[in-house]
Every structure is written in C-alpha cells, then in structure tokens.
Structure 1
Amino acid sequence: RAGYLPSVSAGAGYRRAAGAYGASTGLAGVNDFSLGVTARWVATDLIWVPDEVRAAEASAAAAVAGGALTLRRIRLEVIVAYDALWGARRVAALLRETLAAAEHHREYAAVRGEVGLGAPADVARAEVEIADARLAIAAADAEVETARARLVRAIGLPVGTTIDIPDDEPEAGPVPPPLAEVPDRPELAVLEREAEAARARAESLEAGYWPQVTVSASGGVEDDDFFPTRPVWAVGVAVDVPLLSWAATAPAVDAAEARAARLEAQIAAARDDLVLEVQAAWHALREALARLEACGPLLASAAENLRVAEGRYREGAGSMIELVDARNAVQRAQITRVAAVRDVAIAAARYRYAAGEEPWP
C-alpha cells in the first residue's frame, strides 16, 4: 500500500565548481551549499498498485491456509502414530500371554509324562511353541519401539524421548455422513489464493506497457555561504514512455499468466482428487468396520476350540499338537481384532480429515 503515497526525501549538499569566473575575483572556484526537501509521486501507480495489493493479500492468505494445512496434517500424523503404537503394544502383550500359556503347557506336559499319561513329544512340542513365542515377542518389542519413535517424531519431541500411552482401546468417534461434493479443505484454499495472487501479479506487470506520469516538487535554500539563505523551489511533471522495455515486459506478463493458468488447472484437478480421497476414505472405514464386526464370531469360535482342546488334552484324548494349534488360532484371532480396532480408529480419523473436519475423534 506504500505505492499510494508519494516519496519524500530531505537532502543537504556541498559543491565546489573550479574554473568559474567571478565578477570581482576573476577566474576562481565557487562554493555551493544547499538544503531542501523533494517529493515525488508517480500518478499512474494508482492504476497498478491495487493489483499489487491484491496479489500481496492473496499471498498472505495462501500462507495462512498453508499453515492450517500443516497443522491438520500434523494432527492426523499424531493420531495415526498413536493408534499404531497402541496396536503394537497390544500385540506384544498378547504374545506374552501366549508365552505364559506355552510355558504352562510345557509344565503340564512334563507332569503328565512323569506319571505316564503324556507322550515325550508333548514336552518337545511345547518347547517349540515357547521358542516361537519368544521370537515373536522380540519382533513385537522392536515394532513397539519403532511405533513409539514415530509418535515422538509426530508430536515434535526430541529424539529418544520416552513416551507412554494408556492401554485403553482407541475409539473411532463420530464421523460425518458420506459426502458427494468437494469438501472444504485448506489444500483448495492455498491453491485458490495462489492463483489469485498470480493473476493479480500478471495484471500489475502490464504497467510496463504504459507511460509513467511522475509529479515532483522540491523546495529549500541554496547559496555560496555555509548557511544558505536564498530560497529555491521547483515543480514539475514528467512523462516516461517505454520504448524498448516491451521486450522484457511481455515475457514477464506471459510467465505470470501461465503460472496463474497452471494453478487454476491444479485447482480443478485437486477438486477431483479430494472427492476421490473422501470416497476412498469412506470405503476404507466401512471395510475396517466390517473386519472388526467379523472378529467377534471368529474370536468366540477360536476360544471355544481352545477350551475343547484343553479338555481333550487333560482327559488324554487330545494331543499337544491339537492344543498348540488351538492356542495359535486364538492368538491369531486376538491379533486380528487388535489390527481391526486400530484400523477402524485410523480410518475414521482419515475420513474426518478427508471430509474437511478435524481428525481428532
């Protein structure tokens, strides 16, 4: 907006001209002292400054929208990292429960072998189950630490910070109904403001095609004494007509218009991409909910099979292999449910994000 105002400057100067001819002294040097104020105002800027102001305001609005976009992405990243850490911790806990059950199976098989009721291979099979559980726990613990590091990074804490979360299952929270229109997203706001700034910039660059009218005025004192007292002033109007600058102005205007056209094309593509993102997020949420719903019967069936296998083994009608297989089926069902709970929470957060809402549940 400073372009609306004139430029004002104050100056003081000293000049000595050698070889000047004085009336009384003859050929001699002349001292010239001056002090004054000069004001200049480019009148034609009133035509182009509004475009510059509009471009600057649009750029500022794009920066604000970009900041909002960054914050939303950080929030979503934190939610995803949090839910991933919960899932990794829960899987590690389930594997430790499996290890405890395998150790119990080994002890029970050893006691049965001592009294002649169990096969020697039962203890060996239990040892294999224990070894498998320990290997799985090692991998799960590594995944927990990796997920913890991702959460620390998403939050913005220093690397190596120890962070813990509660064991409560993450909730999906409320989700908006399916959307058919383009959601109100900061991504669009950024592109729209940038396109507006580019278009305004192209219009302001067209000033290089036209003459420039400058009004100037100056006033002050000037004399050959150190303290000048002779008043002087000047008022003028100048018109500058560009002759050769068109060759530089035209490419600059074309480049600005091309940038604006490219951004407008990106806006059209972004609208389609956002609608597709909403639909994909909605279907991912439905799929995760369907998997979670199917986990109930699956877990109940696996638990019943384990109960039957344990009863058959105690009665001597079943084998350790049957018992281990049943226990592994329960473990797989439990891990499947943990993954489904995690995926539902993440899918709900991503759908809220895609729909233009806050990802927090």
Structure 2
Amino acid sequence: MKKLILIASSTLLALLTLACLVGYWGYRTIIDYSQTPLVLTEAKELTIARGTSVHQLAQQLETDGVIQDKWKLKWLLKLRPELAKIRTGLYEMTPSQTLADLLNDLVNGKVKIFSVTLVEGKTIAEWEQQLANAPHLQLTSEVFSAVLMDQGDDSALPEGKFFPDTYHYTADSDARELLTQSYKMMEQELAKAWAERVPGLPLKSRYQMLILASIVEKETGQAFERDQIAGVFINRLNLGMKLQTDPTVIYGMGDRFKGNITRKDLVEDTPFNTYRIFGLPPTPIAAPSKASLQAVSKPAKVSYLYFVSRNDGTHVFSTTLEEHNRAVDIYQRKKK
C-alpha cells in the first residue's frame, strides 16, 4: 500500500512538474512574442476607430502582415488584460517597435503628432496652400479671417497677423485651433516689441510696426543686416522720403508678378507701390519674424538712407545718393 502511495505521489509530482514546465514554456512563449519586433520595413500609420476591439485589431494587424500568430496576442491579453484598453486615434507603427510597445502606445493614447512650419516672410495665400497640403489637418475656407473674428479682430485683414513658427497637431485637428495659437503669439510678440521700442520712432501704432517689420523681413537676406535695414527705413520715414522698396511693389502686383519688375510696374499707382506713395503701405506684405519685430523696435543708429543688393544676400549701404548710384553701377547695372 505504501508503495502504491509512493508511486502515486511521484507520478503526481512528475505531472505537476511537467505542468509547471509547460506553463512556464507557454508563459515565456507569450512574453517573448510580445517582445517580437513588428513586421515592418518602414513606418506605417494605424487608425483605431471608435468601437474597435483589441481582437479586431489583432485580425487587422495579421491581415496587414504586421504580426503573425494572432492567437498568441489573445493569450498575451489574458496575461496582461490592461493592454486591451486601447484608445481611438491615429498612431504610427515603426520597425523598431515591439508588439508590447505598440499596445502600450495604444493604451496610453500616444497618437502620432504632426507638425507644420509657417515660415517667416510668406504671405497668407502661401500659408493657405501649405496648410491645404498638410496631412490629416481639417481646413475650411477663409480660416485666417475666421480666427480674426473669433479673437474680436474685425479688421478682416489677416496679412502679417499670424506668428511664423512650427506648430504641432494630431490627426483631424482643426487648422483654426493651430492658427489661434499663431495669432495669439503674434499679438504677444508685437506687444512686447512695441513696449520695448526706442523713443522717436515715426510709427503711430503697433500695426504700423507690424507693417514695417514685414518689409524688413522681405528685404533681409542675411540676419546680421536686419537692424541696419530697419534703420534705413526709419531714417527715410523720419525725413519724409518714399520707402522705394521692391517687395511692396511685388505684393501689390499679386499674381501678375512673374519674377521681374518693369519700369511700368514701378510707376503703377497701387496702394502698395512705395515708389509712388509716401509712408507705409496699408497692410503688412508678409509674416514678420520675431527678429524683424525687434529690429524695427530697436533699429540700428545709422546714417544710411539707401542700400543695394550685392546679389549674394548682403547689401551695400550708403548715406548719399551719389554713393548709392555708384554701388548700383557696380552690383546691378554691370550685372545686366
């Protein structure tokens, strides 16, 4: 009898040991599976729609060839049920991710972040085209004007009123939210530049500072010249001279500009032709950077009234018309 009991006990112990070994093997198989890299050669977007279950996700991933042996995923979720609480959104899968990494992202809602850079010196029309091509961004017509209305700006003149910077958003975000940030940032930077301006500037309002900063932005090829260019325009305004700056002419031409300005263009009577009008044009001509706002706020104290391009992004600055004409002869007329 004792022998039978001993045999039975040994057999039971052996079975328990085997069960433990099989269980451990199964556990390690599932855990190792969770650490297996996704089957991807490049980044790929993954959309989790509202109501998608983790089992539907498993089928989708296997169908797309991103994972294999989806039954192991189901066992993984039994071992770690917290990984089944996936959130809706658009995610990015990468070759470096493991299945566990992906599931953790889905559970924590680490959706893909997109970015769009609104470059300084560009117009609203150019930015509209850029936003229209931005992936997964909802864009409505007249969105810039809509933001002005939202912010209580009833001027309906959006040019120059949005701050150039890099903005981040998630899939299906409304461009209106992004541009509201941009508008508020420009308001802050403009207010700061206006508050810190040096005495004696021939500018009656923050809006005039914005207009002049947009001109400085378009005329600046090298950053170190920005405050000198601002100084030239400030000097001309103080003396009642016309600004005579080509970028304003180009802006006034609109779609008619094909890369060259003719004599006819320079004498055309438009509100933006600073070869005809005195003072500033009626609106900004582009989005000025923070640096251009600061340059107008604190322009260089120079005697210069003229500058001409060296054709390499830099300029020759002159105090007299005679000096300026000599520089034009050297860098512009001989070029032709």
Common topology (TM > 0.5): no
TM-score, length basis structure 2: 0.18
Answer 1 or 2: which has greater helix percent.
Answer: 1
Answer 1 or 2: which has greater strand percent.
Answer: 1
Structure with larger Rg: 1
TM-score, length basis structure 1: 0.17
